[in-house]
Amino acid sequence: MNILQRFLNFFKSSPEPEFIAQQLRKPSGEYAAEVGDNMDKVNRALFDLTLDVMEPQDNEHILEIGFGTGKFISKFFSDTENLRISGLDYSEEMVEIAIQNNRDLITSGELKLLQGSSNAIPFPDSSFEKVFCNMVIYFWDQPENHLKEIYRVLKPDGLFYTGIRSKQSMTIFPFVKYGFKLYEIPEWKETLTQNGFSVVNTEIQTDPAVEFKGNKLELESWCIVAQKKTDPMNRG
């Protein structure tokens, strides 16, 4: 049984999809570690896609929004020098777990992890060359507030990477009826454009098929790359 199938079985067995949705938005309490571990399993392929598209460079400062358990953060440092990563996560429990998983990087000063929301990012203007998030925008009730903050903390011509799954991939899950805002690629591109970004690239990846509630499910992963417009007259 592959890791995606185990993840699906975990959620299939739950009688309360609304509770699952709440935990995916903000893992908390006694379920936080288990939810974080299962999110890692299903989102590994999406993280790798985003990382491949991003191509981190030496001396960059990159912000991840919604890092979860932080198990994948070390991948950034395999082929770079003088790279700094900062992370912001909404869940106190995820921050605690991620700190435990990355103590050496934090001690060395290469990594900084904070708890908070991306509609109030605790960093100065023009702090980052790149900002990214995976499976996070579903929970932004007012995406313009989050995009305004991302725009603010990006340096001129900085890049924002959105990693998500297609709307069709996600609608089979019963929990998405509770507080999820699902997107098609044109919808999210339009949202980015209206908030001061120019879409420069879209990469699509299809993950291996699995069975879920009698259906053959193929999760389609997207990484949408947008650039901060430097001319304020062009801001949406």
Q: 34-38, 156-160, 199-203, 205-209: which range is least confident on average?
A: 205-209
Question: Among 51-60, 109-118, 190-199, 217-226, where is mean pLDDT lowest?
Answer: 217-226
Which residues make beta-bridge pairs with 131? 63, 160
Instruction: State both tokens at 16.
Output: 């309360």
Predicted local distance difference test score (pLDDT) of residue 41: 83
Q: Please, what is the angle between helix 3-12 and helix 32-54, to 10°?
A: 140
| Per-range mean pLDDT, top range of 20-29, 67-76, 214-223, 225-234 | 67-76
What's the pTM? 0.89
Distance separating alpha carbons of residues 122 and 136, to the nearest angstrom: 18
- pLDDT class for 14, splitting at 50, 70, 90? low
135, 121, 176, 154: which is closest to 49 by C-alpha?
A: 135
Within 10 Å of residue 215's Cβ, how many Cβ atoms?
Answer: 9
Position 3 pLDDT exceeds 50: no
**Residue 185 contacts by C-beta under 8 Å, 6 or more apart in sequence?**
166, 202, 222, 224
| Residue 78 CA from chain centroid, whole number | 20
Q: Using alpha carbons, select from 203, 186, 177, 171 the residue that is nearest to residue 55.
A: 203
Percent of the chain with pLDDT over 70: 87
